[in-house]
Homo-oligomer: A and B are copies of this chain.
């Protein structure tokens, strides 16, 4: 049976939507790392939210815009670096980053999390997810720093950073936020005749 495209986005977003729906905060949504195939921004756009995406890679920005054209969607998206977000402080009602932040070094993640919170209004909500050391890919490739591995995927060098259960909490330590929701997920999924293990920690935090 065919199901409407806007219902097939990653499941954790529907929990974030539930928090957004219960919130009184107004203001646009920021998607950090918005490019690539199947842009997540489309879910929120189709629900009527005002969403702005920023993306570091020109190529991934184009892929997302091609998707938008193909699906007759208007996605507001621009080149941008989440380590230094070109928006004023307290501008967005909500900000999220999906499967993006763990492609940076821990030093850069610290900057990026700080920036996501900076651009958020007081009371606004932030969703962000990390990969954990229980992911099967943890340990593959060259470890350039503890938990930071450069791995070769499709002939390209990709950085993957993995965290222990409490370690990712530390990125929020000196920020004026409250953790409303933290979910550690260990996913065993059949993929091409074998079981693949991924593991994530998802956060929903509120700016004070």
Contact = CB atoms under 8 A, between A and B. Distances in A.
Interface in A1-58: 1-4, 7-15, 17-18, 20-21, 26, 47-49
Given A183-B187, A188-B181, A190-B180, A14 B21 contact: no
Copies in the complex: 2
B181 A189 contact: yes
A185 B183 contact: yes
B7 A14 contact: yes
A172 B13 CA distance: 30
Chain A residues touching B, majority SS: mixed
User: Which of the four size classes fits the interface of chain A?
Assistant: 35 or more
Contacts of A186: 183-184
A179 interface: yes
A50 B186 CA distance: 32
A21 B3 contact: yes
Contact of A12 (B2, B11, B20, B181): B11
A166 to B, nearest CB: 11
Interface in A88-126: none
A17 B9 CA distance: 10
Contact of A20 (B3, B13, B187): B3
Nearest to A4: B47
A2 to B, nearest CB: 7
B185 A180 contact: no
A208 interface: no
Nearest to A190: B180
Contacts of A182: 187-189
Closest 3 CB pairs of A and B: A11-B15, A11-B11, A184-B186
Given A1-B49, A8-B21, 14 more contacts: A4-B47, A7-B14, A7-B47, A8-B17, A11-B11, A11-B13, A14-B14, A178-B190, A181-B187, A181-B189, A181-B190, A182-B188, A183-B186, A183-B188
